[in-house]
Amino acid sequence: MMAYQTVNPFTGEELTSFDEISKQALKEKLKKASTCFETWRKNSFDERKKILQKVANLMRERSDELAALVTLEMGKRIKESKGEVELAASIYEYYATHAAQFLADKPLSPEKGAAYVRNEPIGVLLGIEPWNYPYYQVARFAAPNIMAGNCILLKHASNVPQCALEIEKLFADAGAPEGLYTNLFISSDKIEELMADPVIKAVSLTGSEKAGASIAAAAGKNLKKSVLELGGSDPFIVLEDAAIDKTVKWAVYGRMQNCGQACIAAKRFIVMDKVYDEFVEKFKGALEKMEPGDPMQETTMLGPLSSKSALEGLEAQVEKSVKAGAKLLTGGKRFEMQGYFMQPTILTDIPKDAEAYHEELFGPVASVYRVSTEDEAVVLANATRFGLGGAIFTADEKRGQKLAERIHTGMVFINHPTGSQPDLPFGGTIQSGYGRELSSLGIHEFLNKKLVRTCDINDK
Ligand code: NAP
C-alpha cells in the first residue's frame, strides 16, 4: 500500500495515492526550511501578517473546493466541512491580527537596572496532525508559530493527502517563501529518525495516546520540546435543573458533530436521576431520526466514519461492552449499506470493566450514566485517564462554575458543548496531553523567552 491514499468513505473506492518522500528529497526540504528560518525570523510582524491574512482570504475564496476535499477524503458532511474551512480561516486571521500584541516585549521590574523578556522564534517545527479536522488542526499549529517567526514541516494523516497538498498550495499562493510551510508525505515509522535531525527544534502532535507516547519519547531522547493534544472521553453532565429540550439538542450536537469523531465530542452523558428518563427518551428519539446519506449533500444528517478500520473498531468496542454487561438502548451496528456508516448508538448501565467505561469511543456512540448526586457525577466524570474537556448543563451558572472546579480536565463549558474558537485556549491534562493551542497561550509554546538585562555591575 502507498503511504498516502485517498479512499472515499462513502463508497469505499480507492481514488488516488501518493509516494512517500525519498531520503534525498527530505534532506532538501529540511535544508530549505532551515534556510527560510534565517530570513523569516527577521521579518516584521507586518510582513508575516500579509502572508497569513492572504492564506485566510484564499481559504474563504476556495471554501467550496476545500470543503469538498475534506468530505471526499474523510467523510465529513459538506455543511460541516464548510464550517471547518471558515474556522481555519478565522484562526489564520486571528493570529495575523493579534500576534504582535501577544508577542510584544515584556518589561520586568528588577530591584536594580532594567530588564525585559523578548519572545524569539526557535526554528523549524514539526507538526503531526490527524485527519478528523484536516484544515483546522493544521491552522491551530501553523498560524501562531508562523506569526512567531518559526517555520513549519507538516506530517498530515495518511488518509487526507489531498487536503494536505491544498494547505501547502494555499501558502505558496499567498506568497510564502519556500520552506516556510512544507508538507511531508512521510510514514509514522520514519518520524523517530526525523526527530533526531538537528534542523527540527520541537514537535507538536495531535492524535492518539499511542502516537503521543511515541513522539514524546523521541522528543525526550533528542531533548526537544513537545506539545501533545491527545484523545478524550469528555463528560457531559446534566443537572436536574437543566432545561431538558435545550440540553438534548446540544447533547445531540455534542456527540454527533463530525460523526462523533472529535476529541472534544461529548462521550459520557452523566444525568441526574430526576431528569434521566426524560433526557434519555428525547436523546434516543433525536438520534434515531438521523438517517445516513451522501455526505456531499447539504441535507444529509449522518455521514460515514472516516475509514473501514474506524467502523470495524467502533463496532467491536460496542460489541465487547455489551458482552461485558452494558445495555444497548438503540443502534449498535453498522448500517447494511455502501460506505462506513455506524448506527447512532446509546449504551446504558455500563459496568466498570466494559470498554465503553474507560476507552474513548470515536464515533456516534453515547454512553449514558444515571447519578443521584453531584458528588456521584464528579466521581464518574473523573473516572477516566483522560482530561480533555467537559460540559455542564444547569439553570444555575454559579452552581455550574462550582462543579467545574471539581472536574479534572483542561476545559469545562457551562451550558454549551465543549467547543473551540481562535480566542479560547484549547488543550488537556492527564493522558489527554500537555500544552495549549489557540488564544494568546498557543503562541507561547515554541519560543525562546529571552531575558535582556541592563545593569552595570559597578552600580550600587
Ligand atoms: P493517530 O493514529 O495517532 O494519528 C494522528 C497523526 O499521528 C497522524 O498524522 C498519524 O499518521 C500520526 N502518527 C500515528 N502514529 C505515529 C507515530 N508512532 N509516530 C509519529 N506519527 C504517528 O490518531 P487517530 O486515531 O487517527 O486520530 C484520532 C485521535 O486523535 C483520537 O484519539 C482523538 O481524540 C485525537 N484527537 C485529539 C485532538 C486534541 O486536540 N486533543 C484533536 C483531534 C483528535 P498516519 O496517518 O500516517 O498514521
List, for residues 286-320, the tens digit of each pLDDT value: 999 999 999 999 999 999 999 999 999 999 999 99
Tell me if residue 36 is catalytic: no
Is 20 a known active-site residue?
no
Q: Whose CA is nearest to atom 18 of ligand 1?
A: 211
Going across the sheet that includes 114-121, the strands are: 106-108, 114-121, 447-454
Q: Which atom of ligand 1 is nearest to the CA of 360?
A: 32
Side-chain half-sphere CA neighbours of 457 within 13 A: 0
| Ligand 1 centroid from CA 209, angstroms | 8
| Ligand 1 atom closest to the CA of 428, numbered from 1 | 41
- Partner residues linked to 393 by β-bridges: 238
The dihedrals phi and psi of 160, each to the nearest 5 degrees, come to: -130, 50
CA atoms within 13 A of residue 313's CA, in its CB half-sphere: 12
User: Per-residue pLDDT tens for 137-168?
Assistant: 999 999 999 999 999 999 999 999 999 999 99
Among residues 84, 168, 263, 355, which one is catalytic? 263
Secondary structure (DSSP) of 115-127: EEEEEEE-SEEEE
pLDDT for residue 2: 57
Do 29 and 152 contact (CB within 8 A), yes or no? no
The catalytically annotated residue of 129, 229, 360, 437 is 229
Interhelix angle 63-74/78-102, rounded to 10 degrees, is: 120
Cβ of 234 below 6 Å from ligand 1: no
In angstroms, the first-to-last Cα distance of the chain is 71
Distance CA 228, CA 435 (A): 6
Residue whose CA lies nearest to ligand 1 atom number 22: 188
Of 263, 304, 279, the C-alpha closest to 390 is: 263
- Provide the 8-state DSSP code for 159: T
* Low-confidence stretches of the chain (pLDDT beneath 70): 1-2, 460
> Can you tell me the distance from the alpha carbon of 206 to that of 232, in angstroms, rounded to the nearest whole number?
12
**Helix (H, G, I), strand (E, B), or coil: what is residue 234?**
strand
Q: Angle of helix 134-147 relative to helix 161-173, nearest 10 degrees? A: 40
CB distance 203 to ligand 1 below 6 Å: no
* Pick from 420, 309, 314, 295: nearest CA to 360: 314
